[in-house]
Chain A
Amino acid sequence: MTDPAITPDLIAGHGLKDDEYARILEIMGREPTFTELGIFSAMWNEHCSYKSSKIHLKKLPTTGPQVICGPGENAGVVDIGDGQAVVFKMESHNHPSYIEPYQGAATGVGGILRDVFTMGARPVASMNALSFGEPSHPKTRQLVHGVVEGIGGYGNCFGVPTVGGEVRFDASYNGNCLVNAFAAGIADADKIFYSAASGVGRPVVYLGAKTGRDGVGGATMASAEFDDTIEEKRPTVQVGDPFTEKRLMEATLELMATGAVVSIQDMGAAGLTCSAVEMGDKGGLGIRLDLDAVPVREENMTAYEMMLSESQERMLMVLDAEKEDVARAVFEKWDLDFAIVGETIAEDRFLIVHNGETRADLPLSTLASSAPEYDRPWEPTPPAEPLGEVEEVDAIDGLRSLIGGVNHCARGWIVAQYDTQVMGDTAVLPGLDAGVIRVHGTTKGLAFTADVTPRYVKANPVEGGKQAVAEAYRNLVARGARPLATTDNLNFGNPEKPVIMGQFVGALDGIGQACAALDMPIVSGNVSLYNETDGTGIDPTPTIGAVGLIEEISKRIDGRAQDGMLALLIGGEGTHLGQSALLAEHMDRRAGDAPTVDLEVERRHGEFVLDNRAYITSCTDLSDGGLALAAFTLAEAAGLGVTLDVTGTAQLFGEDQGRYLLACTFDCAEALMVAAGQASVPLTMVGQFGGDTLNLGGAEAQMSELSALYRSAFETAFG
């Protein structure tokens, strides 16, 4: 088979711009081969190179005494005491999920799980943050069913509990759904595995599933906008095999325990290419690959196809040559492919040999480090128009619009499709605020949450970015967990548009400020740009995944409000209706500015909750829907009614930040009042739990009727 000639069309078809190709010629000093062009395209696309985002990502806070390993490896590593670490990351699989929802979402879960166990950690929890188009859009229903089944199909079989997540619906996602998958694992802090190769002449070993043509060019596809040729892109989506991934995880962890693994990298985007270059570059070594040794499941695959395949459930390792037999035995036990496909070499070369011929011969370190880096022009987002007067609404009508709508109703239909309890350590199921697991064999707990409010980020990227982190912080605190660290999944439109780039820069500014002030550094993350269809971008959606530690799991805040308990509000009265859920869902308006986030106040109020958790039976943070929705959800979870002595639309539905609603006994309320006075935290009694009605300042409805609406709305829309 002869390779195609390198023509301008072929270059453009690889997503390479003219100046980028000129740079390739400069590096090579000759025209690249077809395989080499494919390798450059894979290494330099947005998905792998972060060329538009890198200079801004460098500004994020990534260090702290708790951080063992920040961004740059497969996942972040954070100390949780007693010689243990939590390893976690969130990653998008947006474009593939829109094209083929089941497999796109499934392989998104597979990819993030692999990132975690590649570091030597056994995955113990997963979450997913999903954004879909309007329920009435013709594709939405199919996407919801496919994505949820795909996530469940993969995670349930692999055997990791899903403990949290979020889902939203908005017209801006009609042409681009978002699937952000999070996974966390536990490892001994001194047994973390990294990707840097070391030692010349060591075997490079291929592990896991065989290589096919699936996903060839997938990362390049994910770095372009969609248009009406989208159906033609289906062959670029990979197919997942969770059973193989489960075996790959067990075999990898077993092999790591033998001491045979020098370095390891999973094959994700741009498969063999990215993983080999990463290991060589970080170790300051060259790599020679002999493609004839690569296990394949299709005939006559070319070097180009093998280097760009995104077949799933594969790993690349550099092994201690003396332990090859031990390694082979482990993989044979699990019936997985094990093949020596190359070696580390002293020269700075990435040498690809196939059928006895050299198909690529590239300077490895230059290939890794010379990806273009752009400081793209950006425009700051203009200040939002003031909201103006908002008419008073009937509080019950307003609440019905929220809890009967797909954005704020109960998520039981989704959650029931995920195994939430496998591994036997789940303490708090997904639902309100954060999910919690016990660290196996200890009495420590870890809490997990994923948050962002795209309405806010669009109106005011800086405050919206801060708010995403602040809400994650509050969700952890509301469970009695001390926030530890953060992973970010930054979903935006086309970065070549200054308005979009302005959203990105602003949101990162806000996220950075909040992560620094709340001491939850970013330890891993992923950027997904070009979420646009026919020129229309998504609302900016920087999803924040956060992890908190509960030193003694029995001290988590996880109770149910009891009849007669008081409702206490931390953080003062609601005033801010700009960009609120009430405005969006009840009045169909997107107007005003996002609420401002005072990070010092957030911290003080969070510390107050943590310091006084012994007095608190039940707690939730105030976010979308303000006090009214928080009171409803807290009461509904307890199977009780609630009466709030609060009137006024802004007071009930305002989304001012830094607030929590809690339930406690009369005696505990007294103690909390004293503590709040000393800590300068505004704490007010706003009502009482009990009875069978919801009463919002006089407006009243039967709790059973509201609860039925809340619990059936999702199934009514999509079931």
Chain B
Amino acid sequence: MKAAVLVFPGSNCDRDLAIAFRAAGFETAMVWHKETELPADVDLVGVPGGFSYGDYLRCGAIAARSPIAAALKAHADRGGFVFAPCNGFQILTEAGMLPGALLRNAGLKYICRTVGLRVEETESAFTSRYDRGQVIDVPIAHHEGNYTADDETIARLNGENLVAFRYVATPNGATDGIAGVLSPNRRVLGMMPHPERAADPLHGGTDGAALFAGVAAALVSA
């Protein structure tokens, strides 16, 4: 099983994500944003948290147009797995790989704390190791996590069960408490919370580890 983690100049959760991938059994390479190709035979690509290009324009806007972005899209179009927490989620929405946008938090403040997430959909590799309706504790750390989309899109996401996670108590104003969104083929997951920060007993909780184990299991059985 091979994974790659993209590294933008302002990424700062790239190492954390690589550690979580490796702990789940992935051989993991780091890929610099100026590259135009992913390593051969990559199964899973991580788009990490951080401030990809400083987030001085809109979060993720420049990263979505970086040299590596085309290879990322091609990987997703081929049916490859993509996992994108926090800034990664913002990048995927800016790139048009997932619908909607992440606005500034409703309270206008950065929020870093552990929140409860309800697992809404288990029909995906990422969420297969959870039970539907299960509540897991995962940290958030963002200033722009207020998920929004037009009514039609929200209705479609809800109707097609593409909302992977919802906040138990919405901390940032996100529409319908949406915390994580799946692509129609359920192989691309963008989410504001950081499961890689809940994957080691040192973190005080390991509810996030099952997400990485789920993708690994799907690849082994495939």
Contacts and interface: CB of A to CB of B under 8 A. Distances in A.
Interface stretch (B49-57, B92-100, B161-169, B213-221): B49-57
B109 A422 contact: no
A334 B203 contact: no
Contact of B112 (A416, A423, A425): A416
Given A416-B111, A424-B197, A157 B55 contact: yes
A419 B140 CA distance: 9
Contacts of B56: 243
A417 B12 contact: no
A421 B139 contact: yes
A416 B110 CA distance: 7
Interface stretch (B13-21, B72-80, B119-127, B177-185): B13-21
B51 A418 contact: no
Interface in A420-437: 420-427
Given A427-B202, A438-B202, A334 B9 contact: yes
A423 B51 contact: no
A416 B197 CA distance: 15
A416 B51 contact: no
Given A157-B55, A417-B110, A425 B202 contact: yes
A407 B107 CA distance: 24
Contacts of B10: 157, 243, 246-247
Contacts of B110: 149, 152-153, 156, 416-419
A243 B53 contact: yes
Interface in A130-180: 149, 152-153, 156-159
A416 B53 CA distance: 23
Contacts of A246: 9-10, 12, 51
A421 B112 contact: yes
B43 interface: no
Contacts of A247: 9-10
Contacts of B1: none
Contact of B54 (A243, A412, A425): A243
A242 interface: yes
20 contacts: A152-B110, A156-B51, A156-B110, A156-B143, A157-B54, A241-B54, A246-B51, A247-B10, A250-B9, A333-B34, A415-B112, A416-B111, A416-B113, A420-B112, A421-B141, A423-B12, A424-B16, A424-B203, A425-B202, A427-B202
B196 interface: yes
Interface in A223-278: 241-244, 246-247, 250
Nearest to B49: A422
5 closest A-B pairs by CB: A159-B12, A243-B54, A424-B16, A157-B51, A419-B141
Contacts of A438: 202
Interface residues of A, number: 33
B54 A242 contact: yes
A422 B12 contact: yes
Interface in A514-542: none
Contacts of B53: 243
A424 B200 contact: yes
A397 interface: no
Nearest to B202: A427
A335 B9 contact: yes
Interface string B1-13: 0000000011011
Interface string A209-223: 000000000000000
Interface of B: 9-10, 12-13, 15-16, 19, 34, 49-51, 53-56, 109-113, 139, 141, 143, 194, 196-197, 200, 202-203
Contacts of B112: 156, 415-421
Contacts of A416: 109-113
B30 to A, nearest CB: 12
A438 B19 CA distance: 15
A423 B16 contact: yes
Contacts of B50: 157, 159
Nearest to A145: B109
A450 interface: no
A553 interface: yes
B143 to A, nearest CB: 8
Interface string A578-601: 000000000000000000000000
Nearest to A243: B54
A374 to B, nearest CB: 43
Contacts of A333: 34
A511 B202 CA distance: 34
Given A335-B9, A423-B16, A417 B109 contact: yes
Nearest to A162: B112
Most A-side CB within 10 Å, residue of B50, B196, B202: B202
B142 to A, nearest CB: 9
B139 to A, nearest CB: 6
Contacts of B12: 157-159, 246, 422-423
Nearest to A429: B204
Given A244-B54, A424-B197, 4 more contacts: A246-B10, A416-B113, A417-B112, A423-B16
A420 B194 CA distance: 13
Contacts of A243: 9-10, 51, 53-56
Most B-side CB within 10 Å, residue of A417, A424, A438: A424
B111 A553 contact: no
A250 B196 CA distance: 22
Contacts of A424: 15-16, 19, 196-197, 200, 203
Contacts of A334: 9
B209 to A, nearest CB: 13
Contacts of A157: 10, 12, 50-51, 54-55
A242 B53 CA distance: 10
Contacts of A422: 12-13, 16, 49, 141
